[in-house]
Amino acid sequence: MKAIYRTAVAALALTSPVAALAQSEAQPPAPPQNEQVGIQDIVVTANRREEKLQNVGASISAMSGDQMRELGVTTALDVANFTPNIEIVRSYASPGFNTQITIRGVGQPDFQDTTEATATAYVDEFYMIGAGQADFLSFDIARTEVARGPQGTVQGRNATAGSINYYTNRPTFDGTSGRMSVTVAERGTIRTEGFLNVPVSDTLALRGAFSTDHSDGYLRNINPTSNWRKGAAGKFYAGRLQALFQPTDNLSLLLKAEIGKMGPVAGGNEKAYPVGQIAGLPGTYAIPTDAFGQNQANIGAGARDVTNADGSNELQSKMQHYLATLNYDAGGGVNVTVLGGWLQSKKYSIEDCDHTPLPLCNFSNKARSRHWTTEGRVNWDTGALRLTAGANYLHQSIFTTSASPLFFGPTVTPFGNTLYGQAFRDGQKLSSYAFFGQAEYDLTPQLTAIAGIRYTHDNKRLDSVNAATTSLPIDTPLPMSIGAYEALREQIFASPDAVFTRLTVADNGNLARFRKGLVNANLQLNYKPTDDLLVYLSYKRGQKSGGFITGNVTGTAPELRPFKEETNNAFELGVKSDLLGKTLRVNGAVFYYDYQNMQNTSLIGITNVITNNDAKIWGGEVEVTATPTRGLSLSVSGGYVHTRVQDIFNPTGAVAILSDNRLPLAPRLTGNARIRYEWDQFDGKLFVQGAARGRTWMYRDSLNNPSTKIPGLFVADAQAGYTTDNWSLSFYVDNVFNTRRAINLFDISSVANSGEVVYQMPRWFGGTFSVNF
């Protein structure tokens, strides 16, 4: 009750003065017709129909494609840097791979490919089961929308935390046009991006776009026996072709094909981080050395960008995606949309996870995912009543394999004259169908009621087999390629004394199945006393499907591996306002979440253990944008989140404990700011721009071990340049103050007191030249 009371008080404090100002302010005189001033409207489709951002009763941060180019936003990670109450963490430096997203403190830090995210990603309304898949497609973007809070009613499955929606630029009939940009920066960085739009006829238009990103990396490996020398490197390519067929004004068919490839490249950027117990205390801690007396300093890796790892470091990810979208305007306010698409993702990683000269911890992961989805919906707008109804079907098959050679050498093995290895192969199939509907009705010209519901039925089936052996020959070489790791996996499975852990329908029946209906719902009131002010109050129920603990689960009992669906009962009060003749925009919201059976991830040993625990979350965010004078734009935003998850069992320390903890990757405070000034010069415009972002500390997983307490972070960037209608030239500095604090921490203390630390990327200078035609 105290949390609800504090939320309500904060809401009144936030909305009351803004509402009073919006209703009482005097409007400034209108500017000359040829002068563009004020904050421009962004059209969003959070409710799967076009609406102005300021008219949507939800906490949404949106950026247009032009704004993204100005800010240098190219990946999902960049989006988070300019959005409050969202945190994105990558397992590696390279995009297109493992990505964990939290929105308002809610996320799923499990990096196993069989586990779906709670903060979902969509590209052109197509569901990206793996959040990293969206990294391939975030170029030539028309806009990005980050929606906070459950979005499952009309947007789609599992979005109990929120969603990130990317919308690409469609072909147009406005004439042939294009753009080409090249970025050259430190450490061998070369990026290119471009598009070409060609109207072939009055009814057919084509648009092609591409993006590449190459970097030599900044992490130097001094180990002479390893097969890589520079980590945190990049090698990324992606392309898209779209065809828009529009035979009449009310009928269109958009066809899209996309491909992307990352690697093979040494994309890992982790370093050694000794972790262990302290006598008499719960949890794990950073300790001076690992079990073999090693630390960064005494292995020659004391400098921030130096490591000494004997194992391999290689990533690769490939993606291909096809999508068709049919839109028909039937007249009378009725619009029909049908879309269908298919996506295949293939990826692998091999990593030395102790990052020392000894072969203590090494692993591989190889995955192939295929999914297709189709959706049909109808929008009906009668003026006072607006209806959306539709159906959706999704099918996915995913297969993952791995080998983990641990203590894999004659000087470190605890098994005498043999070696230890464990491996797994996990296969999972998902079939899901859904029906949804939402109605908006204007009770008065100022007051609108909204109600929506979605029913989803999931049928999920797991086929998981783990094997572990202590009898591998002592002369078995440490694998250094994905082919060698796959051969070792087969060798482990074929070992005569291998111990198997299974969760399959054949062996365990319904324990290996999840079959259940899920209900998402939305009830909301929007109050719009003036054209420039919206106040909304909403309740949203979000549900995410259950699943299974997968990956390295050797010895885990089958009955402990399924986890249940989670339910988020979310209450939100928000305000959106344009003030002072649309030169000042203030949007804010406060929220309270009552979470039931939240799916929480704890890394215990080398297993991502997922348990169901209740949680309470409350907080808010505010975004302020201003254009006080011609050429000057300012934006400041901030968020606060208080999280508490109940009854987390932590067996990793010298003393096991049961406690209420903070949620992982959920800093209490986040904030960002940007200032940009541009002025006319030399038949074009000169500009200078500064941006900064910061957050307080957070834990890596639900155990809240001191060893995984990631410190707070503040990073500033700067940019300056010159633009004309035909070309532009800019120079930038990322991480101006060369902040090098830890941004990710892993506890692998069960393997010789190992751990991993990732530091913020160093200061980076570069320049970009673009040509428009």
Task: State the DSSP string of 324-340.
Answer: EEEEEEEETTEEEEEEE
d(CA 75, CA 60) in angstroms, rounded, equals 18
Question: Rounded to an integer, what distance in angstroms lies between the CA atom of residue 568 and that of residue 594?
Answer: 6
Residue 569 has pLDDT above 70, yes or no: yes
Alpha-carbon separation of residue 47 from 103, 152, 156, 379, 386 (angstroms)? 19, 10, 11, 10, 11
Give the DSSP H/E element, type plus range, for residue 494: helix 482-494
What are the tokens at 202?
């009055």
536 Cα distance to chain centroid:
27
What lies within 8 Å, CB to CB, of 21 at 6+ separation is: 577, 579
Give the pLDDT band of residue 90 (cuts 50, 70, 90): confident
Nearest to 241 by CA among 164, 170, 289, 156: 170
22 has pLDDT over 50: no
Per-residue pLDDT at 488: 98
Mean pLDDT, range 347-373, rounded to an integer = 96
Encode 438-468: b = buried (16+ Cβ within 10 Å), e = exposed.
Answer: bebeeeeeeebebebbbebebebbbbbbbbb
Residue 79 CA to residue 698 CA, distance in Å, equals 19
Q: What is the pLDDT of residue 134?
A: 63
Cα gap 379→328, rounded to integer Å: 10
| Residues 314-334: tens digit of each pLDDT | 999 999 999 999 999 999 999
Q: Tokens 């719902």 appear where?
A: 521
Mean local confidence (pLDDT), 15-33: 41
DSSP H or E stretch at residue 254: strand 251-265
Contact present, 352 and 312 (Cβ < 8 Å) = yes
Q: Which two tokens stand for residue 326?
A: 């049919």
Kindly write down the DSSP assignment for every residue of 643-712, as one continuous string. Answer: EEEEEEEE-SSSS-EEEEEPPTT--SEEEEEEEEEEEEETTEEEEEEEEEEEE--EESSTT--GGGEEPP
Cβ pair 317, 267 in contact under 8 A: no
> What's the mean pLDDT when you consider all of the chain?
92
Structure tokens at 582: 């649309």
Residues 6+ apart with CB under 8 A from 426: 112, 114, 398, 399, 400, 401, 462, 463, 464, 465, 550, 551
Give residue-wise pLDDT tens across range 698-748: 999 999 999 999 999 999 999 999 999 999 999 999 999 999 999 999 999
Beta bridge partners of 335: 329, 379
CA pair distance 128, 219, nearest whole angstrom: 31
Per-residue confidence (pLDDT) for residue 40, from 0 to 100: 86
- CB 144 within 8 Å of CB 44: no
SS3 22: helix
A 10 A CB-CB count for 760 gives 17
Tens digits of residue pLDDT in 388-426: 999 999 999 999 999 999 999 999 999 999 999 999 999
Asked whether the beta carbons of 710 and 744 are under 8 A apart, the reply is yes
> What SS3 string covers 116-138?
CCCEEEEECCEEECCHHHHHHHC
Instruction: Give dist(CA 224, CA 228) in Å, integer.
Output: 9
Under the banding of pLDDT at 50, 70 and 90, the label for residue 19 is very low
The SS3 of residue 467 is: strand
List C-alpha distances in Å: 753 to 266, 306, 554, 707. 24, 20, 19, 11
- The model's confidence at residue 23, banded by pLDDT at 50, 70 and 90, is very low
DSSP letters, 367-391, are EEEEEEEEEEEEEEE-SSEEEEEEE
User: Which residue's structure tokens are 């005569």?
Assistant: 496
- φ and ψ of 7, to 5 deg: -60, -45
Q: Encoding tokens for residue 636? A: 């400041």
Segment 628-673, tens digit of pLDDT = 999 999 999 999 999 999 999 999 999 999 999 999 999 999 999 9
Res 469: pLDDT: 97
Burial 354-387 (b: 16+ CB within 10 A, else e): bbbbbbbbbbbbbbbbbbbbebebbbbeeeeebb
Is residue 549 a contact partner of residue 561, using CB atoms and an 8 Å limit? yes
Section 140-162 average pLDDT? 89
Give φ, ψ of 108 to 5 degrees: -135, 95
pLDDT more than 70, % of the chain: 94
Q: Which two tokens stand for residue 283?
A: 């949890």
Q: How far apart are CA 309 and CA 296, in angstroms?
A: 11
Question: Confidence band (pLDDT; 50, 70, 90) for 249?
Answer: very high
| pLDDT tens figures, 297-311 | 999 999 999 999 999
Model pLDDT for residues 533-545, shown as the tens digit of each residue: 999 999 999 999 9
Q: What is the pLDDT averaged over residues 164-183?
A: 95
Residues 264 and 269: their CA atoms lie apart, in Å, by 15
Residue 28 confidence class, pLDDT cut points 50, 70, 90: very low
Above 50 in pLDDT, residue 3?
Answer: no
Distance of CA 208 to the CA centre of its chain: 26
